[in-house]
Amino acid sequence: MTTTPAAPVTTWYLEMTDPDELTPAVAPQERAGLRIVRAEVASGEFGRFLYTAVGSDVSWKDRLGWPAEQWRTHLARPGCELWVAYEHGTPAGYVELDAQDEGAVEIVYFGLLPDFRGRGIGGHLLSYGTERAWDLAARWRGRQDTARVWLHTCSLDGPYALGNYRRRGFRVTHTTMSH
């Protein structure tokens, strides 16, 4: 039996260094039932649900083995935030923010559940999440003001991810390739 070598994976690192660089997407007009809410309770089960519901078909694997307590501990860290989009009460997607040293905020995870993709929600959710990254310090006592918002995406993520980040004003700082 022969095995096919794994296709190389390209990873793009992107950043924004000024809130004025954000080009917000137009909020979907027909989505009167769309709202974005911060999940303020560190629920390991809810964190895992969002991660698996959004990432299961785009190769998110690094947190699959986390037990609920590890999720809860992670989400309870100061400066870690989940912003969840709901359409008529149903979770549609989320953004996970992580405040880091020197005023950096990483968009650690961002995405939509499969049923909500391709409907104009992603650009709006990314815009909203990026705005929350820029004003994160206002919600956390002692946090340095945000000086940089950054993220990475790879060729395994959805086909529109990189384009959405670029349209919002993120610029590629460097690219890596792995096998």
**Pairing mode, strands 148-154 and 104-112:** parallel
Report pLDDT for 4. Answer: 62
| Domain spans of the chain, in order of start | 11-178
Give the model confidence (pLDDT) of 131-161 as tens digits.
999 999 999 999 999 999 999 999 988 888 9
Report the CATH number of the 11-178 domain: 3.40.630.30
Give the model confidence (pLDDT) of 62-101 as tens digits.
999 999 899 999 999 999 999 999 999 999 999 999 999 9
